[in-house]
Chain A
Amino acid sequence: MPTFSDLLKAHYETTPDKVNVTILHGGQPDRMVTYSELIKGASGYVKTYVRQGIQPGEVILLILQHGIDLLYAYYGAILHGAIPSIMPFLTEKLLPERYRADLAALVSVTQPTAIVTYREFEAEVRAALKPGEDSVKAVIVSDQVDGPCLPEFGSFGGLRRKPEDIVLLQHSSGTTGLQKGVALSHQAVINQLTDYGKAIRLQDSDVFVSWLPLYHDMGLIACWLMPILLGYPLVIMSPFEWIRAPYRLLQAVSRYQGTLSWLPNFAYNFCAQKIRERDLVGVDLSSWRAISNCSEPMRWESQDAFRERFRSLGLQPDAMTTCYAMAENVFAVTQGGIDSPVVFEDIDRDSLQIEKFARPSVAEKPVIRMLGAGKAIPNTSVSILDTKGHALPDRHVGEVALKSNCMLSGYYHRPDATEKAFVNGWYLTGDYGYLVEGELYITGRKKDLIIVGGKNIYPQDLELLAYEVPGVHAGRASAFGIFNETSGTEDVVLVAEVDTSEQAEQQKIADSIRAAVTRGSAVALRYVHLVGKHWLVKTSSGKTARSANREKFLKEMEEKGRDF
């Protein structure tokens, strides 16, 4: 089996002049990068890593934004045989001190020997380090790196890596997410790309178009590694630019005859609602053959709104596809909508919620429209397990479990967490769902995780931040997500017990909680609900029972006539 470096070398030797990556930046000409440029640029980084004493097998943290530096630094790390890991960039909302604390925590778990960043960010990075004490040997500033040069493949450590060696780390954001880096081997990633490529029927005319962040599996695997390693053109823009100008995705598809994209569910609503007609003049979407809804709960309504809004621009109705994915399986678990349209079914709501059985709807009873996530990709088996770990028959809701030849090697330096994730060789996803003749439907989540716009948020991180606010007592807050039909994603709610019932004082505390959470996690709270003592439901061990508090909150809001 080849490794990443073998694949890169082959592209360099066989198709050096093929444009592989096109980087879009507002207000600048599009930057096209051929394989020859990519490998030469990456080779400059290899030289620098060698000079700095970074060894193959060591971790290199990349704190860079979308652009040429990140492209060269990432693939330079691969060619050197080091293990790249992309850390999210500091946003204007996040407190620098909090970012430093997260970075220091990440350094202590993953033990990187180098960090690559921009000159203007160097001081911020250094402030998080302890020279002589931590693992970091070099902070490499992107403008001091050797320029592009001819590759000396014979000396590159990357060409001596074995398929089972770890090739990259991938982290979720936030204090909790950063503690659990998913470590993937060459063979796991290549097995995934090969079989996922079959599932989506990759073809010569394919062009990938993406605005996704690269510290998330959807962006990193589907829209960074897959096209570059397998030899397909990739057009990328930064998520910061896309969220301010969503029309750019559609313009890029039109200009480059894009065929494949992956979007979190909210992006369908976002594009359908917020793009002006004047930004779509001349846009032709007829080339777009598969737009996969992935990384947060998928809604039929969201895909339908998108399809209807852009139908007049040539968007093919069957271009709407679905995917269920998980970083621990490298990326995709299932894919739907490629060979036949995406399936959906109307299910009896009460039966699903109370009996945990997905019964097709009968007249007059309330229904839930469930969107199928597709069938397992060739190398992955999916099973639905009951609480004792026994497989359930079709239509029974249980925990989604999987087995494949593309599982993670482990959570990096966390054998304890790795061991907990598997039961009898099955990886337990923490998601609930059911199967119907191989089609997977996801119904909910066992784990206390909030997903906003495809980004995983750990509620305990938000609660800890709320405890820092004067007037909020430790252990007396609960954070959870509530689905918002309009935006197509979850709103974050935080309930906190306070002693005061005085209006102005409460407003002050609520504002302070919002500020503390936003500046400490870059997550915006949609609702802060202050309550009196003993409101929160606790588990027998004294922890906040988030799902019970969520139910209680919803009930209270319903009684007050507020709609959620």
Chain B
Amino acid sequence: MNAEEMKDKLTEYLAKDILKQPNRTIQPGEALLSSGLIDSFHLVDLALYVEDNFGVHIDDSELNASTFDSLDGLIALIQSRQ
């Protein structure tokens, strides 16, 4: 899966399942964690989703804005492990 497809898949998941706003667009560089768009209740969901869909494990100690804070950052993290 290339970065573009990953971005679409992640955007759809975030908008629909986490933000409950299916039509919402998310900019690739938009802050997700530090902005509170994704709150701490949903960090585990995101890690499980990434693992199930991209076969990459994100450790719980990495679920913070200093590891990734945007779609771009998350995609880079996933790609570095695939």
B residues less than 8 Å from A522 (CB atoms): 36
B60 near A241 with CB under 8 A, answer yes
Proximity string of chain A (451-492) to chain B, C-beta cutoff 8 Å, 1 when within and 0 when not: 001000000000000000000000000000000000100000
B64 near A92 with CB under 8 A, answer yes
- Residue B45 at the chain A interface, CB threshold 8 Å: yes
B residues less than 8 Å from A26 (CB atoms): 60-61
Nearest CB of chain B from residue A188's CB, rounded to whole Å: 33
Interface size of A by Cβ–Cβ distance < 8 Å? 27
B37 near A244 with CB under 8 A, answer no
Nearest CB of chain B from residue A296's CB, rounded to whole Å: 13
Cα separation A523 to B41 with both chains bound (whole Å): 11
Proximity string of chain A (514-544) to chain B, C-beta cutoff 8 Å, 1 when within and 0 when not: 1101110011101100000000000000000
In the complex with contacts A518-B35, A519-B36, A27-B61 CB distance below 8 A? yes
In the complex, which residues 236-272 of chain A have their Cβ closer than 8 Å to any Cβ of chain B? Answer: 240-241, 243-246, 266, 270
Q: Which of B36, B48, B61 contacts A518 (CB 8 A)?
A: B36
B residues less than 8 Å from A245 (CB atoms): 44, 60
Cα separation A507 to B40 with both chains bound (whole Å): 23
B48 near A92 with CB under 8 A, answer no
A276 near B48 with CB under 8 A, answer yes
B residues less than 8 Å from A243 (CB atoms): 40-41, 43-44
B residues less than 8 Å from A92 (CB atoms): 33-34, 64-65
Number of A-B contacts (CB under 8 A): 58
In the complex, which residues 57-74 of chain B have their Cβ closer than 8 Å to any Cβ of chain A? Answer: 60-61, 63-65
In the complex with contacts A276-B48, A526-B20, A519-B35 CB distance below 8 A? yes
| Nearest neighbor of A518 in chain B, beta-carbon distance | B36
Nearest CB of chain B from residue A17's CB, rounded to whole Å: 33
Nearest CB of chain A from residue B77's CB, rounded to whole Å: 15
B residues less than 8 Å from A523 (CB atoms): 36
Q: Which of A244, A507, A515, A524 contacts B39 (CB 8 A)?
A: A524
Proximity string of chain A (201-243) to chain B, C-beta cutoff 8 Å, 1 when within and 0 when not: 0000000000000000000000000000000000000001101
In the complex with contacts A92-B64, A526-B20, A244-B41 CB distance below 8 A? no
Q: A92-B64, A246-B44, A519-B35 are in contact. List 12 more A-B contacts (CB 8 A).
A: A92-B65, A243-B43, A244-B60, A244-B61, A245-B60, A276-B48, A514-B35, A518-B35, A518-B36, A522-B36, A524-B37, A524-B38
Which of B's residues lie within 8 Å of A, judged by CB? 20, 24, 33-41, 43-45, 48, 60-61, 63-65
Q: Sample 20 A-B pairs with CB under 8 A, ordered by A number.
A: A26-B60, A26-B61, A93-B39, A240-B40, A243-B40, A244-B40, A244-B61, A246-B44, A266-B41, A270-B44, A274-B45, A276-B48, A453-B41, A515-B36, A517-B36, A519-B35, A522-B36, A523-B36, A524-B38, A524-B39
